[in-house]
Amino acid sequence: MKSTLFAALFVAAGMTGAYAQSSSASRAPARAPQACHSVTPQTCAIANALGRGINLGNMLEAPVEGQWGVKLEPAYIDIVAGAFTTVRLPVRWSNHAAPTADATLDEAFAKRVDQVVDALLAKGVYVILDMHHYSQLSGSALHWNEFPVEPAVLEPRLVNMWRQIAVRYKDRSPKLLFELLNEPTGRLDGEPWNELAPQVLAVVRASNPTRTVLIGPGEWNGIPALSKLRLPADRNLIVSIHNYDPFPFTHQGVEHLATPFPVGATCCDAAQRKALTNALDTARKWSQEKGYPLHLGEFGTHHVADMKSRETYARMVRDEAERRGIGWTYWEFASPAFGMYSPKTGTWLEPIRRALLD
């Protein structure tokens, strides 16, 4: 699990104290430009424009939309587009595709995704369309309601799903970005992902020669795995990273972890902040050496953490990412678990909203 990756670090870091810095638009950190010497001016401009974003999580990657406590209501499109410049759309294509190598997409489901993508693009936001929760591909335990497929068809299915998705959206605005796979891990770590990603990108490029594509490293898109990532020769790539440090704080009380973290951890003391800045500095150094810009695709907190700490954390990550020029998408909008908006009351969780956006 993601949890094991960073846990040791933060057990050592301690959980007390408060991250005292208050921030506001007037105190927003100076932004460094992204490193771009390996990408086109278009992709560089997009990486620098992604800015502040949100994941519409737990909606289209639930086994059935609505099953994880939240449906993607039309009103949400206006709400997120009014607040953010970028929306990441996690979609579990693999459960809506044939179990065979051809992975023929279920047309009714794909039409539902079209509807959401087009509604978001019509609002002018960047849309990152993601392949989420194809867990068997990474050798992870099957996700809730994930249907198993023959091991031999796992990778061809990924390639063939993208072949269809890419053709489907080939004429959409360049503001639509593709993200090849959320959080590759386990059996994909290292070389297997380095070998599979170019095959997927090749089918995307057959119909979308210049669209900006996001690829992240293995180990759950972990920053430590950047050093093992070998990117395909392509000048329209942004590299996606995820970071949930301090993990025992952000994931406290998450029940599906092998060893759940106790509730009560707070954030963010100097050591916790230092761990984050070290990680982001590592990512930025990698980006500067390789010339590919970065995007922080996920960070966020489980609802059981205390609200003051959730606010402090959100502001800390926002500020530290932005100081390094890295655009981000918060995990996530409205699910009961990590959400920052209450579908029940129709209001933002104000401390998190202001931490991210004011």
Q: List contacts with ligand BGC (CB under 6 A).
A: 132, 182-183, 298, 331, 337-338
Rounded to 10 degrees, what is the CA torsion of 307, 308, 314, 318?
160
Residue 236 vs 335, nearer CB to ligand BGC: 335
Structure tokens at 249: 């704080």
Q: Which is nearer to ligand BGC, 39 or 355 (CB)?
A: 355
CA angle 317, 319, 324 (to 5 degrees): 100
Q: Helix, strand or coil for residue 25?
A: helix
Residue pair 91/142 in contact by the 8 Å Cβ criterion: no
Q: How far is CA 207 from the centre of its chain?
A: 24
Report the residue number, 183 or 320, with the smaller CB distance to ligand BGC.
183
**R_g (Cα) of the chain, nearest Å:** 19
What is the smallest separation between the CB atom of 183 and ligand BGC, expressed in angstroms?
6
Q: Which is nearer to ligand BGC, 10 or 34 (CB)?
A: 10
- Closer of 43 and 301 to ligand BGC (Cβ): 301
Report the nearest approach of ligand BGC to the CB of residue 32 (Å): 27
Is the Cβ of residue 221 or residue 287 nearer to ligand BGC in the bound state? Answer: 221
| Cα–Cα separations (whole angstroms), residue 47 to 80, 289, 336 | 19, 17, 30
Helices (H), the chain: 2-13, 41-49, 74-83, 107-122, 154-168, 191-207, 218-221, 247-250, 270-290, 307-323, 350-357
CB of 41 to ligand BGC, least distance (A): 31
Q: Which residue has the tokens 């990756």?
A: 5
- Is the Cβ–Cβ distance between 133 and 146 less than 8 Å? yes
- The one-letter code for the residue type at 247 is F
In the complex, least distance from residue 109 CB atom to ligand BGC, rounded to whole angstroms:
18
Shortest Å, Cβ 300 to ligand BGC: 7
Peptide bond into 332 cis (omega under 30): yes
For the bound state, the minimum distance from the C-beta of residue 304 to ligand BGC, rounded and expressed in Å, comes to 13
Q: For the chain, what's the residue count?
A: 358
Least spacing, CB of residue 38 vs ligand BGC, in Å:
27
Instruction: Pick the closer one to ligand BGC by CB: 160 or 182.
Output: 182
Please, which residue, 190 or 253, has the CB nearer to ligand BGC? Answer: 253
Tokens read off for 275? 């761990």
Q: How many helices (H) and strands (E) does the chain have?
A: 11, 10
As measured in angstroms, the least distance from the Cβ of 333 to ligand BGC is 12
